[in-house]
Chains A and B, each alone.
Chain A
Amino acid sequence: MKRADKLVPALFALLTIMSLLSLGIGSVSLSPSQFWHGLTGQDRVAQLILIDIRLPRTVLALSVGFVLGLSGATLQGLLRNPLADPALFGAPQAAALGAVLVLYTGLVEALSFALPFAAMGGALLSVFLVLAVAGRVAGVTTFILAGLAIASLAAALTSIVINLSANPFAVTEIVFWLLGSFEDRSLRHVAMAAPFMLIGSYLLLRSGETLRALTLGEETAQSLGLSLQRERILIVLGVACAIGGAVSVSGAIGFVGLVAPHLVRDRVKGDPKSVLWPAALTGAALTLGADMVARLVPAPTELKVGALTALMGVPFFLAMIARRRGAVAAEAA
């Protein structure tokens, strides 16, 4: 348990260092004294760069990564499946569809809160659809196939919405937004998404004991006195809230929810409750790291965080599938 006790403080320390670095990185380079004067408000320009440009971006990357890692760990615990990830439910894609509809109809101009609500609705719908189609006790393959179908459907509908869009600038905006990025986000975006991510995180973090009881399957959990139906609904709501809030400000960022729990699972000895905080913090670190890389790599337009997390996550996902295939083969032998 010693190692696990030190894990969360260590991750917090890492995130603090990364956040300071993140505030220091950008197209304008600030000297340490400018940095300090900017933080304390003595240098107006530096303050503008730090507080209005880099701070929202850093806070969003941290919080979006946090809920992605947390959602992944919770879904893995709920389904007792280490390959579960919000993206495998098509949740980000469906959330993106909801958000794109709001962008397309212009509703967002009238009502900025329509965006997270629509994204949340999309995420909720996709998770419920996958659960309804695949059933709760389905194997990995069924889940992935059902999630793939929902994700493809959401992507197709999104593409149609883009086709129907009359304004080419809106199209560019939507497409770039879909790829996942923290570019040009303001404190207004933080304020818009924060309530959703907070409520979602609360619902997911409180599910630890449920996930623990689920370690040996749903019937055993029930025999231990758990009211599964209620808990399951709360978790799905939590994921939808958290992912909806995240997608509404960052676009679709995948694979963080899959990768983050795995990086820390062994350190908490596999305990599905103790993994929640470390997975969330690791998700924050991965996402902020990806965003820093996106800012540092020179390119005509800034690289998209969603593309970077996919570059990192897909090989990881493939390696996991290959490893599980090996395990299955060994069992059969």
Chain B
Amino acid sequence: MTHLAAHALTISLGQRAVLRSLDFKAGAGELVCVLGPNGAGKSTLLRALAGFFPQAPVTWDGVPLSQIPARQRARTIAWLSQDGDAVWPLPVRGIVALGRIPHGATLDSLTAQDRDAIDRALHACDLQSLADRDITTLSGGERARAFAARALAVEAPVLLADEPVSALDPHHQLTVMGSLHRAAQEGHLVIAVLHDLTLAARFANRIVLMKDGGIIAQGKPDRVLTPDLLRAVFAVDVVSVDHDGTRIVLPWSARND
């Protein structure tokens, strides 16, 4: 099975070790949600997996990312930034089309295959009605959906998404998470950083709980999202209810001990 792995991953930014000797492995067909408090190293882990640290010991199917040619890596791993913004007044469809660059597409010469991928991505993020709108005139949440669609349009075996739904309304949080879930079911590996415990519980095959640059626990949602672990990691007391076999986890009170 194809897999993305990091072994003894240590990354320091300035003087601070952001990731400490972390081991991680995930394979095709998984939707992995990475949870943890601010500063736990979630984004850094995702960026390392995306290949932004050339020295980081990250492998795809056993091959170090640094040995994969840039174009091929771009076709293999799609990345959705946490703080995307658009400065030019491009139409949404044009933004999404950028996802086809790794496949050799330019806006001037999109193939039928490119167009299909773009349409699928627009549909997955419920953007059909906004496809021709100037991105700079959209709301923050609408833009976030356009950026998510851009990453989906790569149709890469791996999708790394840093907080893909934080800016979205409940309806679109479910739409986009549903799309990521579907991508995983179709055999893609999706790794997403989230802050919403219940969304993670609802959609993830596996949850990775991080704190202080390391993985505290990982596994199926109901094994990881326990009151004790959440208290230890987030310093919160949670209320949890089981609904249709899914755990609903609500942070209820902040602890100061």
A273 at the interface (CB under 8 A from B): yes
The answer, yes or no, to whether B78 is at the interface (CB within 8 Å) is: yes
CB distance from A209 to the nearest CB of B (A): 6
Cα(A222)–Cα(B99), bound, Å: 12
**Contact between B88 and A215, CB atoms less than 8 A apart:** yes
Contact B87 A265 (CB under 8 A): no
Interface size range on B against A: 35 or more
Whether A219 lies near B52 (C-beta < 8 A) is yes
Interface residue from A209, A212, A223 paired with B74 (Cβ < 8 Å): A223
- Tell which of A222, A224, A266 touches B98, judged by Cβ atoms closer than 8 Å: A224
Annotate A279-323 by CB proximity to B: 1 below 8 A, 0 otherwise.
Answer: 000000000000000000000000000000000000000000000
B106 touches A209 (CB 8 A): yes
Q: B75 contacts the other chain (Cβ, under 8 Å)?
A: yes
Q: Which of B57-92 contact A (CB under 8 A)?
A: 70-75, 77-79, 81, 84-91
| Residues in B139-157 with C-beta less than 8 Å from chain A | 147, 150, 154
Asked if residues A220 and B106 are in contact (CB atoms below 8 Å), the reply is no
Set of chain B residues within 8 Å of A213, measured between Cβ atoms = 98, 101
The tally of residues in A whose CB lies under 8 Å from a CB in B reads 25
What is the minimal beta-carbon distance from B234 to any residue of chain A, in angstroms?
27
B107 at the binding interface (Cβ < 8 Å): yes
Q: Are B91 and A215 in contact (CB under 8 A)?
A: no
Interface string of A242-275 (1 = CB under 8 A from B): 0000000000000000000000011001111110
| CB pair A225 B90 closer than 8 Å | no
Q: Which residues of the other chain, A, contact B136 by a CB distance below 8 angstroms?
A: 270
What mask results when residues 208 to 236 of chain A are scored 1 for a CB within 8 Å of chain B, else 0? 01001101110110111111000000000
Asked if A273 meets B101 with Cβ closer than 8 Å, knowing A217-B81, A224-B74, A265-B88, the reply is no
Is A57 engaged at the interface, CB distance under 8 Å to the other chain? no
**Residues of B contacting A265 with CB < 8 Å?**
88-89
A271 touches B74 (CB 8 A): no
B70/A266 in contact, CB under 8 A: no
Residues of A within 8 A of B77 (CB): 223
- B94 close to A (CB within 8 Å): yes
Pairwise interchain contact B81-A215, C-beta atoms closer than 8 A: no
Contact (A81, B134) CB under 8 Å given A215-B95, A225-B75, A225-B102: no
Q: Which of A81, A212, A216, A227 has the most CB of B within 10 A?
A: A216
B94, B99, B101 interface centre (most CB from chain A within 10 Å): B101
Residue of B nearest to A211 (CB): B88
CA gap between A209 and B97 in the complex, in Å: 12
For residue A80, CB closer than 8 A to chain B, the reply is: yes
Nearest CB in chain A: distance from B48 CB, A: 12
Q: Is the CB of B88 within 8 A of A272?
A: yes
Chain B residues whose CB sits within 8 angstroms of the CB of A222 once the complex forms: 52
A227 contacts which of B70, B72, B99 (Cβ < 8 Å)?
A: B70
- When distances are taken between beta carbons in the complex, the residues of chain A under 8 Å from B52 are 219, 222-223
Alpha-carbon gap, A82 to B51, bound state (A):
30
7 extra interface residue pairs, beta carbon distance < 8 Å, beyond A215-B98, A266-B89, A270-B134:
A212-B106, A220-B79, A224-B98, A225-B102, A226-B101, A227-B70, A265-B89
17 sample A-B contacts, Cβ–Cβ < 8 Å, listed by A number? A81-B87, A209-B101, A213-B98, A215-B95, A216-B98, A216-B150, A219-B47, A219-B79, A223-B52, A225-B70, A226-B101, A227-B70, A265-B89, A269-B134, A270-B88, A270-B134, A271-B88
- Going nearest first, the 6 A-B pairs with the smallest beta carbon separation are A225-B74, A270-B88, A270-B89, A223-B79, A225-B71, A224-B101
